[in-house]
Amino acid sequence: MGKRRRVPAMAPEDRRAALISATLPLLREHGTAVSTRQIAEAAGVAEGTIFGVFPDKASLLRATLMHAFDPGPAEEALAAIPAELDVRVRLREAAAVLRARMTDNTTLMGLPKDAIAADPGFLEWLMDSRRRIAGAVAAVVAPDRDRMRRSPEAAAQLLLMLVAVSVHRGFGEGGDFGDMDDEEIVSVLLDGLLVRPAPAPFTESSP
């Protein structure tokens, strides 16, 4: 075992952030089986330091999940998409933001169940996080609401579902969606599934 590096004393909030940062990659790799000893070694602190910041391992894992699923960065990225862009371009950029978020958290998808069992309030937080993401996507769609047959909120839910099935390969049900890129997702959302034939070439009629 390598010698633990010495780290300077930190304020409580900085120590909390450092522990969460050290825990996240371990949680992605090991799930909830990650030990506090592994976390302490990754953070460069004594194992007892963890319990000076968090009352138990479960609360540290819950705080780490809340950090991973924090909607703030995605909301900011979605809000930064210029409203003057064509709707297809805006939605492709929105799909890229959602894909990156979902891909980063793929291995964490099943873990919130454990956090919810330990703290039912976590479910409310998670649902609010999802609502915030959906609202941010709806705002991307909103400039073209008059062109849509459904509301921006409904369009946002459809985009989220299409990105999710492409990232998670149909949620393990053998779905044929793993090869959908952002452009195809937006095309399916805006145009449907029918392949439209190319228009016939224009020819001048004979006199």
CATH of the domain at 130: 1.10.357
Domain co-membership, 119 together with 160: yes
The pLDDT value recorded for residue 122 is: 85
Q: Which of 195, 160, 161 is nearest to 175 (CA)?
A: 161
Specify the number of domains making up the chain. 2
The pLDDT value recorded for residue 112 is: 74
Domain co-membership, 74 together with 61: no
Query: How far apart are alpha carbons 73 and 101 in whole angstroms?
Result: 9
Tokens of 85: 């862009």
The pTM of the full predicted model, rounded to 2 decimals, is 0.82
CATH of the domain at 61: 1.10.10.60
Quickly state the pLDDT bin for 7 (edges 50, 70, 90).
very low
Alpha-helix runs per DSSP H in the chain: 12-30, 36-43, 47-53, 57-68, 72-79, 87-104, 112-118, 121-141, 152-167, 182-191
Place of tokens 């450092």: 18
Residue 6 belongs to some domain of the structure? no
Domain range for 170 is: 70-193
Q: Is the dihedral of CA 158, 162, 163, 167 positive or negative?
A: positive
9 or 151, which is more confident: 151
202 or 192, which is more confident: 192
Q: Is the model's pLDDT at 38 over the cut of 50?
A: yes
Place of tokens 């609502």: 131
Domain co-membership, 181 together with 82: yes
Domain co-membership, 109 together with 49: no
Q: Which of 135, 149, 160, 134 is nearest to 190 (CA)?
A: 149
Domain co-membership, 43 together with 107: no
Is there a contact between 23 and 39 (Cβ–Cβ < 8 Å)?
Answer: yes
Query: How far apart are alpha carbons 154 and 132 in whole angstroms?
Result: 14
Kindly report, residue by residue over 82-102, the tens digit of the pLDDT.
Answer: 999 999 999 999 999 999 999
The pLDDT value recorded for residue 50 is: 94
Q: Is the model's pLDDT at 134 over the cut of 60?
A: yes
Query: How far apart are alpha carbons 25 and 15 in whole angstroms?
Result: 17
Query: How far apart are alpha carbons 76 and 79 in whole angstroms?
Result: 5
